Structures are given as C-alpha cells and as structure tokens.
A and B are shown apart, each in its own frame.
Chain A
C-alpha cells in the first residue's frame, strides 16, 4: 500500500515537472506564432528585400524600409562589443584568478547589483551624464544623443552578463592545468592567457553571444539616448534608431499596416536572435566534441 502511494507520488511530481517545462515551450511557441502572424504577412506585402533594404521609413506614406535600423543595430552592437568584451573578459580573469578574496566578493556583489538596475534607470543616467558630456566635448553643442551614447550605456549594461558567464567558465577550468603550467616555469599571467583563457573559450564565447542578444534586444535605455532619427548613420555621433527601439517607439499610436510593419521589425529582430542562438549551438557542440 505504502509503496503504491510512493509510486503515485513520484509519478505526479514527475508530471508536475513536465508541466512546468512544457509551459516554457508553450510560451515560446505562442510568442513566435503571434509575432509572425502579425508581422509576416506585411513583409510579404511590402516585399522581403524591399523591407530590409529600403532606406526610407515613412509610415504615413506607407513606405517601410528598415535598413537604417538594421545598420544602426549592427553598428551599435559591434561598438558595444568592442568595448565590453575586453573590459568584461579582463574583469572576469581578475575575479577568477588574481583578485584578493575580499575584493573579489565585493566586486561580484557590485556586478550583481549592476545587473539588476532597471534599463530605464540606465537610460536616465545616460541622458543626464553621458549625453551632456558628449554634447560638450565631442559634438560641440549639436546634441549628445546618438550612437556613441547608446554604445557607452549599453557597454555598462552588458558587462555583468559577460563578466559573470565568463567568470563561471574560467573558474570551471581545472586547476590542474594551472599547476602544470606553473610547474613548467610559466608565470601566472602567461598561464592565464596561454592556458586558462583558451580552455574557457567556449564559455567566454557564450557570454559574448548572450551579451549581443541583450544589446540587440534593449529598447528602453537606447530610446532615451540614441536620438531615434531614422537615418543611415554617417558618424559615431549620428542620431540613430535601432530595430528594438523602432518596435517600442511607435507601437503606441500605430494602426493598420504601420502597426503590422512594427511587428515585422520584430520578426527581423527575432531572426537575428535565432541566428545568434544557432551560432552558439554550433560553437558549443564543436567544443564538446573536442573536449
């Protein structure tokens, strides 16, 4: 009798877990269907190539071209990564191998808090400090909103992701590699850069991909500092609008085809994210096969 009860209990708990897991898949599926249902038809109507290579966005005239936003999103992502990867990876290295214990604990807590600050607060911060500074020193009074401001604020926002994921993978590298390298007469720094970082490279790469996802998807902070003009960026100070900013900015009042075009922008954004995930999957399976 008791055994039967235990079995029943095990069974129902297992199904409960299954249900929770199914919930995530359902959510993903629903979102996919919804966004594509709303966005895909209009891409057909406009024409896929015209939509992604058009440079003019005039919803009133029903001209929808998002190339400037794609380019802006890509530039901002690249710019952010150029800054965030070295700072993030070096911080992760410092935290995992070099920092005194107490300092490391303090740094880790600070980074966790950095990660939990709402993006709108980052936006305000950027608007109040970074934008005026760019205006004063670089743009010479023509306004500090633009690509550079977005890159700087996104760099700060993405650091916690890169640092914590990289650090986890650096710390999981076997200490026996470190011992072997030191025993060969290598210095601590040589050991870190020739042995430990290469051994953690797939994890570091994952951290970068996650960071890129975060940057591509961020709307709120970007809207507040990037200027939001739909134009091809001509310099790093240009006012630009990203894909995610576009979705968020006009949704409040868009109707009809305009509304659908915003969903279509979401579809393209989704496409980028899926590409990233595939890339991550390829890198992971490759390094697993090797390891």
Chain B
C-alpha cells in the first residue's frame, strides 16, 4: 500500500447554514493520482479547496473534523504559508499573471526569498521543462504570458505551481476550458508528474478520470458515495448511484 499523504477524518464544511460536505473520511495516497468526480454542486471543488485551505477566503465558511498532511493537522498545526508551499494548486481557468513568462514562474520563488538571478533561471527552466512547455516558450521568456494559447497558459500555470517544489498538486478541473488536444497534453503531463508529486484532480470528465487516475472518489450532494481504485470504481462499482453516474445515466 502506498504511503498516505492526506488523512481526512470526519470533515464537515458549512457555508453559513448550508452544510456542504458531510462527514467525509478518506485517505489520499502519495505519488498517486486521485480523481474527484461527481455532478456539479456535489462538493468536489469545495473539498479540494479544503486541502490547501483556499476555503479560508470564502466568507462564512466553517470547517470541523481534521485533515492531516503527513500526520500534521493542516488546520491546527500548520502555518498557512508553509501549507501552500507544500500543496500547490492549478485552477479551472488558466490564470497566468499579466507578466512575462519568466516572471510568472519566478514569482513563487521570489516571494519566498530567492533573489539570485542564476538560481531563479534554473528554477524557471526546470519548472517549465517539467510542465512540458520549455521548448515552446524558451525563446519568449520575456514576452507576456497572456499571449500564449489557452493550453500553453494552463501548462504555464502548472509550471508556476511546481516552481516552489510542492509535494502535492491540486488541480480543479484543469482541462475544462481547453480543447481536446491541449487536454491530452495536460493528461500526459499529469501522468508524468505523478512520479514526483501527489496529484488530486477534480474532473467533470469521466473518461479523463478513467484515463489518468489511480483512485477515484465519487461525490454526490456533499457525500462521498464511493472511493476506491479507479479500475474498481469503473468496472465493479459497489453503489447503484456510482454505476448510474459513470454509465452516464445522470449528471
């Protein structure tokens, strides 16, 4: 059995009075790809944001239960800055900063105190290489990142997340705004990244979950209906609702 990265126990989340996540308990494994699937509004995006505490930004959001990263409670015993250095995030819509390609990647290391040009150069090249985009941008590092295509922008955002050497990369529907070819590139990339990082990925696209993930959690109305190895979920779903969803009968 793989090592456990996140240990989630009895996690409840409320937006004011609305009970959005119901007593979730699951383990997320290191160097595996965990896909979170389910219909819109089921809580999968809300759940992924609890893992790097992006939900702290939402007014009226309250959490109880525990989430441990390598056995340390991320809500009690973690500095939020250290947590986010370890747990990076890629968003639904590519959101590179309105800066040059280089500055986008150097931003993270810079705010964490790296100033030497040579060191930054190395980090930028390494992150861009890891995100399969170095060859496409190496001659335009000083150009605006907003001039890149959507797919390139998203790989740039992945590189940006990698720039501060996280352990985990969270991806919230990273391909939903992209064309099929760009989507395939990102999927290949994710499969490659798994060697060095733990990946948690929200996806709307069942085929995508099937293609790339090792584990799949099926969310419905704030509950996890089923969580298991992806092959098991797709071939032998235990719950009727899971079966209905993955065979496309609803959602």
Q: In the complex, which residues 174-196 of chain A have their Cβ closer than 8 Å to any Cβ of chain B?
A: 174, 176-177, 179-187, 190, 194-195
B111 touches A183 (CB 8 A): no
A291 touches B107 (CB 8 A): no
B84 touches A176 (CB 8 A): no
Q: List 17 A-B contacts (CB under 8 A).
A: A176-B93, A176-B95, A179-B54, A180-B91, A180-B96, A180-B160, A182-B54, A183-B91, A183-B161, A184-B88, A185-B82, A186-B111, A194-B111, A195-B107, A199-B98, A290-B144, A291-B144
Interface string of A64-99 (1 = CB under 8 A from B): 000000000000000000000000000000000000
CA of A252 to CA of B46, assembled, Å: 70
Is B85 part of the binding interface, using a Cβ–Cβ cutoff of 8 Å?
yes
Chain B residues with CB below 8 A from A190, complex form: 111
A184 touches B57 (CB 8 A): no
Chain B residues with CB below 8 A from A174, complex form: 95
Is A198 part of the binding interface, using a Cβ–Cβ cutoff of 8 Å?
yes
Chain A residues with CB below 8 A from B163, complex form: 184
A184 touches B164 (CB 8 A): yes
Interface string of B72-113 (1 = CB under 8 A from A): 000000001111110011010101111100000001100110
Chain A residues with CB below 8 A from B99, complex form: 198
Is B216 part of the binding interface, using a Cβ–Cβ cutoff of 8 Å?
no
From B82, B85, B88, B98, A177 is in contact (CB under 8 Å) with B98
How near does chain B come to A287, taking the closest CB pair, in angstroms?
9
A183 touches B88 (CB 8 A): yes
CA of A190 to CA of B111, assembled, Å: 8
Interface SS majority for chain A: helix
How near does chain A come to B66, taking the closest CB pair, in angstroms?
22
Is B8 part of the binding interface, using a Cβ–Cβ cutoff of 8 Å?
no
Closest 9 CB pairs of A and B: A176-B95, A185-B84, A183-B89, A184-B108, A185-B85, A185-B81, A186-B111, A180-B95, A199-B98
CA of A180 to CA of B52, assembled, Å: 12
Q: Residues on B close to A: CB < 8 A?
A: 52, 54, 57, 80-85, 88-89, 91, 93, 95-99, 107-108, 111-112, 144, 146, 157, 160-161, 163-164
Most-contacted residue by chain B among A179, A184, A199, A291 (CB, 10 A): A184
With A184-B160, A184-B161 as known contacts, state yes or no: A177 contacts B84, CB within 8 Å: no
Chain A residues with CB below 8 A from B91, complex form: 176, 179-180, 183
B107 touches A185 (CB 8 A): no
Nearest CB in chain B to that of A289: its residue: B144
CA of A179 to CA of B157, assembled, Å: 12
CA of A182 to CA of B80, assembled, Å: 10
Chain B residues with CB below 8 A from A183, complex form: 52, 54, 84, 88-89, 91, 161
Given contacts A179-B91, A183-B91, A186-B111, 8 further A-B contacts (CB under 8 A): A177-B97, A179-B95, A180-B95, A180-B160, A183-B54, A183-B84, A184-B88, A198-B98
B164 touches A185 (CB 8 A): yes
How near does chain B come to A186, taking the closest CB pair, in angstroms?
5
